[in-house]
Amino acid sequence: MSKDQLKVGVVQQAVKNNDKQKNWRHSSEQITKLAAQGCELVLLQELHSTLYFCQQEDTDNFDLAEPIPGPATDYFAALAAKLNIVLITSLFEKRGSGLYHNTAVVFDRDQGLVGKYRKMHIPDDPGFYEKFYFTPGDMGFEPIQTSVGKLGVLVCWDQWYPEAARLMAMAGADMLFYPTAIGWDKTDTPEEQTRQYEAWQTIQRSHAVANSIPVVVANRTGFEPSPVAGDPGIQFWGQSFVTGPQGEILAKASEDQEENLIVEIDLQRTEQIKRIWPYFRDRRIDAYSDLSKRWRD
């Protein structure tokens, strides 16, 4: 990379309705503030255009999806060009009739849409019925080249998989980005909530450590009630954060407030850390073939 320093912005939002235009304007206001403060790259959270609709299985929710290119990509491409920034967004992609993805989209200044990533790992848990809506991605783990470097963009449930982070790093990603939407079931005990949150942060910090690259995470905040009577809804836990290449926390947002983060990332430090801790040099790739198996029976 040619730059030594990169100022990165993260937008942590609450979503209260499915009015896309209103939610885009709200995001736009925060992105504009971050650009005015010198951020050249801004990350938005997962599925920021609408409520987290995966709390139930309802075919009417497919109406929320849109094609690429489409209204959302037109809107954010124009914004990235106007502000002269790199922008990572997220949307519910309608690829074709009956075929949908959870997709991150990257815009680079006046170049417009320069890449996308379709979420590879799709969860299916109470309140997170994503397998009903999203076809697993088929684009692999390929970093997206931009004017500020090669960006390894992954999405939410991908954050639990070291293989995904490793493959992005092996393809030359300079940083990893995770737009995410994760929160607590209101019936969980405080102790369980703490364990879940700490596991979530720890696994992503470990991706930074294992690959010696910064990691940038945008999570949503606020409570979104379930449309299903009797279900507890989700308290999204916010706490978006940025780590350096040794997993050190450079910035962290609050649990329950809308908030922007600004971090100056030292890009040259990544190279120095890789020289001191040469994990890639010492990997025993001759002994890892079983990693491509489902299980070692």
Active site residues: 46, 119, 156
- Token digits of residue 283: 């990997």
Q: Please report how many Cα atoms fall inside a 13 Å half-sphere around the Cα of residue 270, on the Cβ side.
A: 25
- At 156 the three-state DSSP class reads helix
Nearest to 269 by CA among 2, 4, 1: 4
What are the strands, taking DSSP E only, across the chain?
5-12, 41-43, 86-96, 99-108, 113-118, 144-146, 149-153, 175-180, 183-185, 215-219, 221-224, 234-237, 241-243, 249-252, 259-266
Buried b (16+ CB within 10 A) or exposed e, 166-184: bbbbeeebbbbbbbbbbbb
Q: How far apart are CA 119 and CA 122, in angstroms?
A: 7
Give 219's DSSP letter. E
Q: How far apart are CA 198 and CA 204, in angstroms?
A: 10
Pairing outcome for strands 183-185 and 215-219: unpaired
Give 128's DSSP letter. B
